[in-house]
Chain A
């Protein structure tokens, strides 16, 4: 971070150091979210550039990696918010066709539920439902995974989203609603008597 204020060749050397020390770990996280090699690489490098632009806002007493990870996650969500990835659940009060299809797939698969239950394949059901959730609402699914994996609280979620506390609460509520829709089949399966997730 010292090089941040020095400029010139120091920036170049520091960027190289940043790439060597952190690219691999950030790339893993990014690839898990975007599942695209080129996009993940591009996002991590975009993050390094942003890190440099914002280095003046870095608090020396906090850890560098979590701070950079927060910037990366914000960039990932930004990418997911692009119109071509966004799938709204409802349009004019009607369920979006993508959501309707996913629900229909879930309902069609329901007769298999007993079979899955017997064979202990709840995970397969979850994987199917989660994929549908990720396709329809990638931003919400990704943030939920981060909440689970890193134990994020409201403030941390608001930072990643770049939203106010109120807007963050609304986003969390949306996460819950959307998860209920897309994971309905799995919820029904695990809520059946004698079953737990």
Chain B
């Protein structure tokens, strides 16, 4: 097989054979080309054009590989940390005021108010809402989702005792297991970078 022969073979294989180039190499490649084109190809599993989980994997990878500048992440973490601290301080203040100001029966109400809705923040609250709702549904929970004033909510009546797979989903998103089984989560937009 000389280089010219291989070149003719390649051109015939790619379907770009020069007119009149008739040779053993051209015939060989033309047969091969027909065979390759006629072969059955294993079907590919369908993938959705949009998959939030897949996107998160990609973004995490981009961060790990330094594609998204560290400074941006660090700033966001500091900001998120600051916001968390401020929210905690506000929560403690309300709790203290509630305990001090209200009589015993109302103290329950205050505690209930705090524990009733779990508030989360995410860069894409709607995506996170869908993700959590789907995972709860997969774990056999009937879920209602809603959007109110830019907050994305999830309501569900969990079976009691809470099954372990449901508890696992909640743990994954750091959502406390509601003692009465009434789950209420609201996700707000995280602060912009």
What residues of chain A have their CB less than 8 Å away from a CB belonging to chain B?
Answer: 7-9, 11-12, 15-16, 19-21, 23-24, 27-28, 31-32, 35, 37, 41, 45, 48-49, 52-53, 122-123, 126-127, 130, 144-145, 147-149, 151-154, 169, 172-173, 176-177, 179-180, 183, 186-187, 190-191, 196-197
Contacts and interface: CB of A to CB of B under 8 A. Distances in A.
A150 to B, nearest CB: 8
B14 A49 contact: no
B61 A49 contact: yes
A-B interface, 10 closest residue pairs, ranked by CB to CB distance from nearest: A197-B31, A197-B34, A31-B44, A148-B36, A126-B35, A151-B14, A28-B44, A8-B72, A173-B6, A147-B14
Contacts of B16: 151, 153
8 contacts: A15-B58, A15-B59, A19-B58, A48-B58, A148-B36, A177-B1, A179-B32, A197-B30
B6 A169 contact: yes
Contacts of A127: 39-40
Nearest to B33: A148
B47 interface: yes
B62 A11 contact: yes
A153 B16 CA distance: 9
A126 B6 contact: no
Contact of B32 (A9, A41, A53, A183): A183
A45 B44 contact: no
* Size band of the interface chain B makes with A: 35 or more
B38 A123 contact: yes
A126 B35 CA distance: 7
Contacts of B10: 147, 154, 172
Contact of B13 (A45, A144, A186): A144
A49 B65 contact: yes
B36 A9 contact: no
Contacts of B67: 11, 15, 49, 52-53
Contacts of B41: 32
B93 to A, nearest CB: 33
A11 B193 CA distance: 13
Contacts of A186: 35
Nearest to A130: B39
B3 interface: yes
Given A32-B42, A148-B14, 10 more contacts: A7-B69, A12-B68, A15-B59, A15-B62, A16-B58, A23-B54, A27-B44, A28-B44, A179-B32, A180-B28
B101 interface: no
A32 to B, nearest CB: 6
Contacts of A52: 62, 67
Contact of B1 (A7, A41, A173): A173
B113 to A, nearest CB: 35
Contacts of A190: 31, 35
Which one of B6, B32, B67 has the greatest number of beta carbons of chain A within 10 Å?
B32
Contacts of A148: 13-15, 32-33, 36-37
B14 A153 contact: yes
A52 B63 CA distance: 12
B152 interface: no
Contacts of B7: 154, 169
A69 to B, nearest CB: 15
Nearest to B37: A148
Contacts of A144: 13, 32, 36
A189 B152 CA distance: 65
B39 A152 contact: no
Task: With a 10 A CB-CB cut-off, give which of A23, A35, A191 has the most chain B CB atoms.
Answer: A23
